[in-house]
Structure 1
Amino acid sequence: MDLDGIGLDDVDRELVRELQGDGRLQFEALAQRVGLSRPAVRARVQRMLDAGALRVVAVVHPAVQGTTAACHVSVAVRGPAEPVAQALAALPRAPFVTLTAGRCPVVAELRAGDGAELAAALDEVRALPGVESVRVQSYTRVLKDPYLAPSAPLSITVDALDRRLLDELAADGRLPFADLAERVGLSAGATRARTLRLLDAGAARVVALVRPEILGLGALCGFAVHLAGPVDGPAAQRIAALPEVSFLAAGTGAAELVGTVAARSVGGTRAALDAIRAVPGVRGVESWLHLELVKERYDLSGPGRPTLASLSAVTEAFG
């Protein structure tokens, strides 16, 4: 889709940023923040939704989804990379797949209920036609994520009715409470109370999923960091604090840290990578440029639903 064809301007981008912080912000609140009337804001948001430039969904806590193990995989291939990426995207435990420019032309993320299930998913990847080898980086802790608090524990028990609410919000995060109530068979008041309880406890966050170029962040790359000191030391904290670093996770495998840089240009990406290399305690940095998003979705329990999520949001928090 040609996003330029819908004529996004600075006000549209500001609306997106506000919805990234809270996808259920009322139109009245949005109008006050961007200085437009409520009808004008409503029309702008609906226009972006209809054009596919914006999606508002609930990102559900991994403990609710039953996903406690995750890893980053870099895939070397024999022959063309796109067929391998498409085959990998068809696997139910691969929520994120991208084509890249780097040592390995396919990069993906796998999520599973436990270590044994994750190992089985890795075996599926290795068995795909065209896969030469797979490098694995297991996540142990998320240090920075734009959608969920790092390693946030789940403080409440979620029942079957709560899950139905979260399923509806995962499809449309801005559903009115009255519509939610009708779909789950509760009163509007009870639905509102349950939904707010789930959101306040961190069972989900309702956020705007966007293509990164909408916000002027068209240059995206992944990186892996080799540290001289401990993973939980000051080097990781300093890298996480860099504004261009949109995601950072600690892990075990080929490197101690894996993350994503989101910049406005290739020059900005280069500068961000040099800033990471300059952090005391960093022994080396590998990087790869994201060329094409093949798959990204958050709901692992149902059919694959490709989203327009930013490539910076490649995982949820695994605590």
Structure 2
Amino acid sequence: MDLDDVDERLVRALQRDGRASYEALAQHVGLARSTTKARVRRLIDDGGLRLVGAVHPAVFGLNQLGHVIIEVDGPVREVARAVAEIDETSFVTTAAGRFAVTAELRTGGLDAFSRGLARVQAVDGVRSVQVVTYLRIWKDPYFPPGPLKSPGPLDGIVLDTADHALLEHLRVDGRASFVELAAVSGLSPGAARARVLRLLDAGVVHIGALVRLNPLSRVHTVGFALTFDGAAEPVARRIIELDEVDCLATGLGWCNAIGTIRAGSLDGVSTALEDIRSTPGVRSVESWTHLRATKEEHDLARPLTSPTP
């Protein structure tokens, strides 16, 4: 799937608001509504774009998230496949650079995270791992930004059967109409709309564009790790303002922050990395290029009806 500049602008707009109207999207990119709708449909039909409701991990009982980068002895594909088979992993890629495999782990707590990490370390071919456990998601098209704490977005909110039905349907189709959502939840369209807005406002769900690494496209996806000179918050706030920065999380471990750049050219990647390096408070930057996704489950890593203990 090849994306031109207009496609990229549409994708970024949809990452911010996956339910944005075609009129708003058309105004954003300067095209007719019909042309804009056709563009979005092509992106979806080509298989590279999905518009989904990304549910906060706390809904699944997943309160411990982290990133693992892996150095490998020998070929990497079998290592990546073995890591992807571990239940605790929700995202696994092969990469170019010192780190041949990257993975995200999502578990119910630190003990489960430790067990998942041990399984990763035990995979044949894994030489060493570097780990950062997330404290806060600053920017991510795949689930609502915010601090990772329990009960998180569920503080003061009790999800009933209708809420779960809405979330289950939005996970598959983030742009489902309120009439469709009413049908699956047993609510009226007006009540379904009110419920969805409440879930969005509370950060229980974020509806956005999920762009898969496969099929491969001309869009370059580059991961980066940062160490800071001081407090994370002011640095993170500057970095997430960069359009090319697709996601950013801060945490504890071998670095202070992990993020991803998406750009349509190597020049765009280079410019973004230079902008990051020149950000006040950034001490060091290490980067790698994502080549192929072996596992891309994100919030779908656990069934909605079966929280992790």
TM-score normalized by structure 2? 0.82
Q: Which residue of 2 aligns with 1:247?
A: 247
Shift of 1:60: 0.9
Q: Which residue of 2 aligns with 1:197?
A: 198
Q: Is the 8 A contact 2:178 2:193 kept in 1?
A: yes
Q: Which residue of 2 aligns with 1:313?
A: none
1:77 aligns to 2:72 (yes or no): yes
1:256-275 alignment runs, 5 A limit? 256-275=256-275
| 1:150 corresponds to which of 146, 156, 160 | 146
Shift of 1:106: 0.3
* Runs of at least 4 residues off by over 6 Å: none
Distance 1:32 1:263 in 2: 22
| 1:36 corresponds to which of 32, 35, 46 | 32
Q: Which residue of 2 aligns with 1:315?
A: none
1:143-292 alignment runs, 5 A limit? 143-146=138-141, 148-151=144-147, 153-154=152-153, 156-211=157-212, 218-232=219-233, 234-292=234-292
Q: Is the 8 A contact 1:249 1:257 kept in 2?
A: yes
State the AA in 2 paired with 1:164: A
Q: Which residue of 2 aligns with 1:20?
A: 15
Residue 196 to residue 217, structure 1, CA distance change in 2 (3 Å): farther
| 1:134 corresponds to which of 122, 126, 129 | 129
1:187-222 Cα deviation digits (max 9, x unpaired): 3333233222222322112112225799x9722221
Q: Is the 8 A contact 2:213 2:292 kept in 1?
A: no
Equivalent position SS for 1:125: helix
Moved more, 267-276 or 172-181: 267-276
Q: Which residue of 2 aligns with 1:108?
A: 103
1:54 aligns to 2:81 (yes or no): no
Equivalent position SS for 2:147: coil
Residue 245 to residue 91, structure 1, CA distance change in 2 (3 Å): same
Q: Is the 8 A contact 2:136 2:145 kept in 1?
A: no
1:45 aligns to 2:40 (yes or no): yes
Equivalent position SS for 1:175: coil
1:129-165 Cα deviation digits (max 9, x unpaired): 2222221111122233346333384153322331221
Q: Which residue of 2 aligns with 1:302?
A: 303
Equivalent position SS for 1:299: helix
Unaligned runs of 5+ in 1: 304-319
Residue 61 to residue 46, structure 1, CA distance change in 2 (3 Å): same
Residue 262 to residue 231, structure 1, CA distance change in 2 (3 Å): same
Moved more, 291-300 or 262-271: 262-271
Q: Is the 8 A contact 2:52 2:210 kept in 1?
A: yes
Percent same amino acid at aligned positions? 46
State the AA in 1 paired with 2:90: P
Distance 1:92 1:208 in 2: 24
Shift of 1:13: 4.8
Please provide the CA RMSD for this pair: 2.9
TM-score normalized by structure 1? 0.80
> Size of the alignment, in residue pairs?
295
Q: Is the 8 A contact 2:220 2:262 kept in 1?
A: yes
Distance 2:271 2:42 in 1: 35
Shift of 1:224: 1.6
Residue 242 to residue 9, structure 1, CA distance change in 2 (3 Å): closer
State the AA in 1 paired with 2:126: V
State the AA in 1 paired with 2:132: Q
Equivalent position SS for 2:158: coil
Shift of 1:246: 2.8
| 1:120 corresponds to which of 109, 115, 118 | 115
Q: Which residue of 2 aligns with 1:314?
A: none
Q: Which residue of 1 aligns with 2:307?
A: none
Shift of 1:126: 1.5
Distance 1:281 1:18 in 2: 29
Distance 2:45 2:236 in 1: 40
